[in-house]
């Protein structure tokens, strides 16, 4: 219960800060978002381009654990997972407040869960993250980025959203590892302390969810 209260307060605090306390919104923000979304990146700091695209990879990483976590929950995970592609942690935090611990996998795996939790999905997320991080660090203008972070609400809140998504991932990681029979505290902390690349790599190295007894029986009868 204390975790739910803390996450609820964090969600309210983030909303309050983003809309009332963060730096003001700058003219041309909507046009910037459109240009970033449509690939018109000329004249835009590569660090900002990299961060914007990374914020599209984070929801893919979360989807790799959310859909299996949401099976059997009172509240479905998919609306929050879909919403996170647009507003990041603003959409994910309510699910984290409402969900119950789920360290055991029960039931058959749908084709979608098989797809979203496949190593290929994890590999796409990891390689995409790696390319963007290297590109943003080596080509980007960090002095310009810091200036925009201090004065532009969109850049400021997007950066904090990145940090929050990193900090929140362990709230789902423990149960996801337990559902797969993984007891590896070293891996848990490695994934936890490495932003973005740690969770993305976890999707690549983790074992698949166990098959349910019903699906296993069905497969053996078919054979």
Assess whether pLDDT exceeds 60 at residue 217: no
Confidence of residue 220 (pLDDT cuts 50, 70, 90): very low
| Residues 138 and 145 sit within 8 Å (Cβ to Cβ) | no
3-state secondary structure the chain: CHHHHHHHHHHHHHHHHHHHHCCCCCCCHHHHHHHHHHCCCCCCCHHHHHHHHHHHHHHHHHHHHHHHHHCCCCCCCHHHHHHHHHHCHHHHHHHHHHCCCCCCCCCCCCHHHHHHCCHHHHHHHHHHHHHHHHHHHHHCCHHHHHHHHHHCHHHHHHHHHHHHHHHHCHHHHHHHHHHCCCCCHHHHHHHHHCCCHHHHHHHHHCCCCCCCHHHHHHHHHHC
Assess whether pLDDT exceeds 80 at residue 46: yes
pLDDT mean across residues, the chain: 91
- Which region among 33-42, 47-56, 203-212 has the lowest average model confidence (pLDDT)? 203-212
Would residue 28 be called left, alpha or beta, if left means φ above 0 and alpha means ψ between -120 and 50 degrees?
left
pLDDT of residue 76: 93
Query: Per-residue pLDDT tens for 3-28?
Result: 899 999 999 999 999 999 999 999 99
Confidence of residue 213 (pLDDT cuts 50, 70, 90): very low
Confidence of residue 72 (pLDDT cuts 50, 70, 90): confident
pLDDT of residue 146: 96
Residues 6+ apart with CB under 8 A from 35: 41, 44
Assess whether pLDDT exceeds 60 at residue 214: no
The arithmetic mean of pLDDT across residues 52-79, rounded, is 94
Percentage above 90 pLDDT, the chain: 84
The arithmetic mean of pLDDT across residues 174-193, rounded, is 93
CA 160 to chain centre: 13
**What pTM value is reported for the model?**
0.90
Cβ atoms within 10 Å of 127's Cβ, excluding its own? 12
The arithmetic mean of pLDDT across residues 80-105, rounded, is 94
The arithmetic mean of pLDDT across residues 122-151, rounded, is 95
pLDDT of residue 218: 36
Determine the Cα–Cα distance for residues 44 and 48; give it in Å rounded to an integer: 7
Assess whether pLDDT exceeds 60 at residue 222: no
Burial class (CB in 10 A: 0-12, 13-18, 19+), 93: buried
pLDDT of residue 212: 63
pLDDT of residue 1: 80
Determine the Cα–Cα distance for residues 53 and 83; give it in Å rounded to an integer: 16
Burial class (CB in 10 A: 0-12, 13-18, 19+), 87: middle
- Pull the structure tokens for residue 191: 């994934």
């Amino acid at each position: 219960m204390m975790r739910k209260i803390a996450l609820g307060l964090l969600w309210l605090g983030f909303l309050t800060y983003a809309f009332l306390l963060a730096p003001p919104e700058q003219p041309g923000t909507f046009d910037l978002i459109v240009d970033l979304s449509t690939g018109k990146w000329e004249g835009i700091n590569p660090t900002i381009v990299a961060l914007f695209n990374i914020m599209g990879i984070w929801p893919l990483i979360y989807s790799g654990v959310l859909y299996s976590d949401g099976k059997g929950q009172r509240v479905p995970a998919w609306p929050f997972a879909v919403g996170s592609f647009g507003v990041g942690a603003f959409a994910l935090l309510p699910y984290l407040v409402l969900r119950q611990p789920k360290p055991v996998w029960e039931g058959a795996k749908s084709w979608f869960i098989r797809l979203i939790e496949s190593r290929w999905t994890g590999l796409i997320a990891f390689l995409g993250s790696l390319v963007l991080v290297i590109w943003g660090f080596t080509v980007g203008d960090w002095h310009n980025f810091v200036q925009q972070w201090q004065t532009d609400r969109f850049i400021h809140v997007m950066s904090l959203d990145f940090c929050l998504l990193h900090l929140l991932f362990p709230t789902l990681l423990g149960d996801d590892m337990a559902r797969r029979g993984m007891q590896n505290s070293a891996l848990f902390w490695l994934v936890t302390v490495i932003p973005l690349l740690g969770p993305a790599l976890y999707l690549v190295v983790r074992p698949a969810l166990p098959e349910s007894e019903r699906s296993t029986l069905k497969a053996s009868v078919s054979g």
